[in-house]
Amino acid sequence: SYVLTQPPSVSVAPGQPATLTCEADNIGLESVHWYQRKPGQAPVLLLYDDTARPSGIPERFSGSNSGNTATLTISGVEAGDDADYFCQVWETDSDHPVFGGGTKLTVL
């Protein structure tokens, strides 16, 4: 099955950009979706179809997807962005979703 690889952790100082990656063979051919989960809270859909933001998601969150890497970029990280971030694609062969292992973003 399709495997999505995310770095376990990323640390960034407040105000700096954060780049979170999601790697898989030819992921650029897939639509990638991103979620944010803070401890004790429900996950939140951050981006869908690589770059689209649901209503209410700040413009600081953006995405790209090409080749073997999809990227979630947070421009100007804030303390409230300290959370786990998961990427996800829909695997066509199985008609099932696949999630990455998640990246813990720590705001220093």
Partner 1 sequence: EVKLVESGGGLVKPGGSLRLSCTTSGFTFHNAWMSWVRQAPGRGLEWVGRIKTGTVDYAAPVKGRFSISRDGSENTLYLQINNVKSEDTALYFCATSGLEYFDYWGPGTLVTVAS
Residues that bind partner 1 (CB under 8 A): 31, 33, 35, 40-45, 48-49, 54, 86, 88-90, 95-102
Minimum CB distance to partner 1 smaller for 89 or for 107: 89
Asked if 71 and 24 touch (Cβ cutoff 8 Å), the reply is no
Closest distance of CB 7 from partner 1, Å: 12
| Side-chain-facing half-sphere of 77: CA atoms under 13 Å | 20
CA atoms of 79 and 24, how far apart (whole Å): 29
Q: Could you give the CA distance from residue 35 to residue 14 in angstroms, rounded to a whole number?
A: 20
Q: How far is the CB of 21 from partner 1 (least distance, A)?
A: 15
Q: Which is nearer to partner 1, 77 or 100 (CB)?
A: 100
Least gap, CB of 13 to partner 1 (angstroms): 26
